Homo-oligomer: A and B are copies of this chain.
């Protein structure tokens, strides 16, 4: 079979050009036309189809090692991608394979196959699901809620950024676990969606409502689990109503990622002491050895109609920098991704 990848390909890339000061600007990136190198042994050439945009991308741009090594200036911007193998010098991969990995913000990934994984073709499951309930997003919600949050039926769960990719799934998993689930989101449209479509018990628009008063009303038995994606004043309001022995699943702090200089810590931090709460940080890759378990359970929930998700697609890699800010503006509903090229015809 003739590989479609004979010869180098023109490869547009977004490279990290500067360390952002606060909010990301397009000038923090450089739009570069490169060409794909010849493959060495053990390498694959992947045409990127979808690029995942996640709040943590902003963290990756900082000049510090975090849970991943610092990204040097001039590097292709790091990004989680889904693509199709077009050429392979690795015996486990063949042209046509659908794969997921850190392909970066570019049209083609050419490099080591290590760290990539093949995606199964599941009838009725769209490819984008692997960025949703069946990918890092779904696994984050799953391990965060179940392992760290340890929900019990009858408890009250509050989810911030509840209209976002992770939050919308975590809330639904909370309902499956028998919790009262209250979501906090930034638009009436998101609030409507999580209540009417996803079955949350209540939704609070933090931009138009006094969150503390609303939590008082919607959480009459206090709060047992905080699935925290945001930080800042919303988190403080939630901490103000936690019960003894509460669990805070620290999944994200999106309100702080654009902050320059010292971030504002939770002013209600003393509640953690006074209520003997447990706060635990979550990076989903720590649970990689259990992704199979999560996949099996999530597929079952999807088939039972208990887990819904929504994809918010931006067309074209060129739009990635501007699209990233949609996460911080709260403009996206559900999982935000960039469509870089077309899916192969099956």
Contact = CB atoms under 8 A, between A and B. Distances in A.
A68 to B, nearest CB: 10
B278 A283 contact: no
Given A262-B267, A263-B270, A279 B278 contact: yes
A265 B262 contact: no
A316 B231 CA distance: 47
Contacts of A275: 67, 281
B286 A282 contact: no
A280 B279 contact: yes
Interface in A237-288: 244, 250-253, 256, 262-270, 272-283, 286
A273 B253 contact: yes
A237 to B, nearest CB: 12
Interface residues of A, number: 33
Nearest to A272: B281
Contacts of A256: 269-270
Nearest to A246: B281
Contacts of A265: 236, 264-269
Given A264-B265, A265-B264, A265-B265, A276 B270 contact: no
A278 B277 CA distance: 10
A244 to B, nearest CB: 8
A281 B283 CA distance: 22
A304 interface: no
Contacts of A286: 276
A63 to B, nearest CB: 14
Contacts of A67: 244, 274-276
A268 B265 CA distance: 7
A263 B267 contact: yes
A290 to B, nearest CB: 15
A144 B156 CA distance: 27
A208 interface: no
A250 B244 CA distance: 14
Interface string A292-314: 00000000000000000000000
A66 interface: yes
Contacts of A266: 265-266, 269
Contacts of A277: 280-281
A160 B302 CA distance: 48
Contacts of A262: 236, 267
A250 B273 contact: yes
B272 A279 contact: yes
A87 to B, nearest CB: 36
Contacts of A273: 250-253, 281-283
12 contacts: A59-B274, A67-B244, A67-B274, A67-B276, A253-B270, A262-B267, A263-B268, A265-B266, A265-B267, A265-B268, A275-B281, A276-B282
Given A67-B276, A273-B282, 15 more contacts: A67-B274, A236-B262, A253-B270, A253-B273, A264-B265, A264-B267, A265-B268, A266-B269, A272-B279, A272-B281, A278-B278, A278-B279, A278-B280, A279-B279, A279-B280
